[in-house]
Amino acid sequence: MAKVIAFINFKGGVGKTSNAVNLGAVLARDFGKRVLIVDLDAQCNSTYWLLRHQERRALDEAPQHTTCQIFLDHLVGTQIFDFDQAVVRAVPRSAAGNPHIATLDLLGAHVNLLDMEDRLGARTLLPYFSFLEKTLKPHAKQYDFVFLDCPPNIYNVAKNALFFADAFVIPYRPDFLSLSGLRVFASVVRRFQDQISGFKPRHAQPLIAAVIVNCLKKHANVGLAAIGELELELGDLRAKGLIHPKARLLTPSIRDCVKMAECPSEHLPVIIHSESAISTEDYLALGADFLHQLQSI
């Protein structure tokens, strides 16, 4: 059965999509894992990253083949979503249509997810937070990992990810504002888990299991200081029981580089876009540490 991992942070621009796409690619290509990336963000970043123009356009015109339809089906009582028709196998592909990574799949998003937020919020008497799990859990057995690329909030779609996940990974940008938001995020997650305890017992609920530092700049004293403060904060959160008792900062941090910035427009993970990039080196090492951490919790 797959490990379902939510890459989540209610701050934008911290590297959620970059971690989901690039770590997923490393695990699939270099560690032989079967990985599904599920795009839950109306901005469709992982969808646009991994699909070329014609593939994206086809998906834009067929929202029934996206995560949006999962929620719509539960809201209106239809059964239109078909996993086998919706999943895009072996992403990304070259311009000639040849797959780069045979065991990396994508379930894309659609901008109509924005509408789902309001509609889910109006269904207060339904366990709306379980819709994603009910639909995708039967298909998770095809994979070793299901990565949930979450929106930059903890609204109704993101709460579906919180309910479905086995563990949370927090992408983190090394600055003061990101640090100040981590404790708030952990507290909000705990309050939500208290609210759903009747549907999922506390012992079965996921916790924050790891943090990944992104965009670490070379010779940046501010970033290194922020990482030190992050380690202290994680220790305090562990002591308060707000995160997993074995939660830790994964290593190495992902260093900032030009090749990484080029990847979304090239529709490639960094390990394929540039084998020599420092971010490729970082992600290969991070993949090993990620697997070690998931096995230890």
Please, which residues bridge with residue 149 across strands?
7, 39
- The per-residue pLDDT for range 142-168, each reduced to its tens digit, is 999 999 999 999 999 999 999 999 999
- Name the least confident of 9-13, 90-94, 127-131, 219-223: 219-223
Backbone dihedral angles phi then psi of residue 38, each to the nearest 5 degrees? -110, 115
- The per-residue pLDDT for range 54-81, each reduced to its tens digit, is 999 999 999 999 999 999 999 999 999 9
Backbone dihedral angles phi then psi of residue 281, each to the nearest 5 degrees? -55, -45
pLDDT for position 297: 87
Percent with pLDDT over 90 in the chain: 80
Provide the domain limits for residue 200: 3-296
Checking if the pLDDT of 222 tops 70, the result is: no
- The per-residue pLDDT for range 95-143, each reduced to its tens digit, is 999 999 999 999 999 999 999 998 998 876 679 999 999 999 999 999 9
pLDDT for position 10: 87
CA-based nearest residue to 26, from 119, 100, 86, 81? 100
3-state secondary structure 34-85: CEEEEECCCCCHHHHHHCCHHHHHHHHCCHHHCHHHHHHHHHHCCCCCCHHH
Q: What is the CATH number of the domain that holds 8?
A: 3.40.50.300
pLDDT for position 217: 83
CA 75, 55, 152 angle in degrees (round to 5)? 50
Its pTM surpasses 0.85 = yes
Number of domains in the chain: 1
Quote the tokens at residue 131: 């819709």
- The per-residue pLDDT for range 274-297, each reduced to its tens digit, is 999 999 999 999 999 999 999 998
Tell me if 61 sits within 8 A of 80, measured CB to CB. no
In angstroms, how far apart are the furthest CA atoms of the chain? Answer: 55
Encode burial over 112-128: b for 16+ CB neighbours within 10 A, e otherwise: bbeebbeebeeeeeeeb
